[in-house]
């Protein structure tokens, strides 16, 4: 069955180029009305230009779709509010938010400045907060919402020279893990994509040949699926790129559970280290103290 977004409104941040543009075009082709947000700054977060967002809107309209631009910065609380306000004022509702906007300031940690750290966090993690904080009351009131956050292999596994970027991208997973719980009773699903694509950001760290091959469109199917009404999963991380898709997950090993009857010392940890470190039988968690398997069983039993 074809996945349709007829009657729905989507907000895509950082949609003036690259992945954001590709998401916006696909959603619009499937019937969504799209708010195309882009400040129009450079890959390091400097400057502003209205042209990229306008151009994507023109592309959508030329193909028969509906779109409106927004030029606010996600790093501003008022900016996030204005993006959501644009959706409500223009189209009367908001169903989908894709937090895609990002910048890079790669530098070895011993040379990293406070400005390098703050700028990256302001766009990636605060930028996701500002938009979702404004969208959340809308989602709760209408008992529906679909969110995709953007992490990275740098945040999941780490990458030299990206302490600021990797930390901000790991924070996305923490945000998802809380919002998936807070949104569950309101039919608000929150998932995360870890994309690999040739964009303005990655062309600064990838060979040009790879940039040309890793088309953003190769990531799009996973994101479109996760923000569709048909997708019922929440709290999922999907790695997507180069035509490949896989799930990544934080899991909890069985470990050793001797209880609190007797205090242990470092030598006891040393003796049991291999068992503590083992991931045999490890399970993904839904929240602190509850496995995903147990959560899904409980949800199914409630109808």
| Neighbour order of strands in the sheet with 290-291 | 251-252, 283-287, 290-291
State mean pLDDT over 217-236: 97
What three-state secondary structure class fits 16?
Answer: coil
Helix axes 114-142, 163-183, angle to 10 degrees: 20
Distance, CA of 236 to chain centre: 10
The pTM for the full model equals 0.93
Number of H helices, E strands in the chain: 10, 11
CA 231 distance to own-chain centroid = 16
SS3 90: helix
pLDDT at 211 over 90: no
- Cβ neighbour number for residue 295 with a 10 Å cutoff: 18
What's the chain's average pLDDT? 94
pLDDT at residue 302, rounded to an integer: 84
To 10 degrees, what angle do helices 51-62 and 18-29 make? 30
Task: Label residue 207 by pLDDT band (50, 70, 90).
Answer: low
Q: What is the mean pLDDT of residues 66-78?
A: 97
- pLDDT band at residue 299, thresholds of 50, 70 and 90? confident
Weakest-pLDDT range from 138-147, 192-201, 224-233: 192-201
User: Hey, which residues are catalytic here?
Assistant: 165
What is the distance, to the nearest Å, from the Cα of residue 172 to the centroid of all Cα atoms in its chain? Answer: 6
Query: Which alpha helices (H) appear in the chain, and where do they start and end?
Result: 18-29, 51-62, 77-91, 114-142, 153-156, 163-183, 208-213, 220-226, 266-277, 292-301
Contact 42, 19 (CB under 8 A): no
pLDDT tens string 268-295? 999 999 999 999 999 999 999 999 999 9
Contact 67, 57 (CB under 8 A): yes
Q: Which pLDDT score is estimated for 49?
A: 82
Domain boundaries defined on the chain? 9-248, 251-301
Report the pLDDT averaged over residues 108-129.
97
* Alpha carbons within 13 A on the beta-carbon side of 9: 19
Residue 208 has a pLDDT of 76
The CATH number that domain 9-248 falls under is 3.40.50.720
What are phi and psi for residue 49, nearest 5 degrees? -160, 125
More confident: 207 or 129: 129
CA distances (Å), origin 240, targets 141, 155, 248: 32, 14, 10
């Amino acid at each position: 069955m074809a996945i349709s977004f007829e009657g729905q409104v989507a907000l895509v941040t950082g949609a003036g180029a690259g992945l954001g543009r590709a998401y916006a075009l696909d959603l619009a082709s499937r019937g969504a009305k799209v708010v195309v947000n882009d400040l129009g700054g450079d890959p390091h977060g400097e400057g502003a230009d209205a042209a990229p967002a306008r151009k994507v809107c023109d592309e959508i309209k030329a193909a028969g779709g509906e779109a409106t631009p927004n030029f606010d910065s996600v790093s501003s609380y008022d900016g996030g509010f204005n993006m959501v306000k644009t959706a409500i004022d223009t189209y009367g509702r908001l169903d989908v938010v894709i937090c895609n906007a990002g910048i890079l300031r790669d530098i070895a940690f011993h040379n990293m400045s406070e400005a390098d750290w703050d700028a990256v966090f302001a766009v990636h993690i605060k930028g996701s907060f500002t938009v979702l904080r404004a969208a959340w009351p809308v989602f709760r009131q209408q008992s529906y919402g679909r969110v995709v956050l953007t992490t990275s292999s740098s945040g999941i596994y780490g990458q030299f020279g990206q302490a600021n970027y990797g930390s901000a991208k790991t924070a996305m997973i923490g945000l998802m893990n809380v919002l998936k719980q807070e949104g569950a009773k309101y039919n608000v699903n929150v998932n995360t994509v870890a994309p690999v694509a040739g964009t303005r950001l990655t062309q600064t760290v990838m060979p040009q040949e790879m940039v040309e091959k890793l088309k953003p469109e190769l990531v799009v199917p996973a994101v479109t699926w996760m923000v569709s009404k048909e997708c019922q999963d929440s709290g999922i991380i999907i790695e997507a790129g180069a035509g490949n898709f896989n799930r990544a997950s934080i899991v909890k090993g069985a470990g050793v559970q001797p209880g609190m009857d007797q205090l242990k010392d470092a030598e006891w940890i040393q003796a049991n280290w291999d068992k503590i470190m083992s991931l045999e039988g490890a399970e993904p968690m839904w929240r602190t103290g509850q496995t995903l398997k147990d959560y899904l069983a409980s949800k199914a039993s409630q109808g």
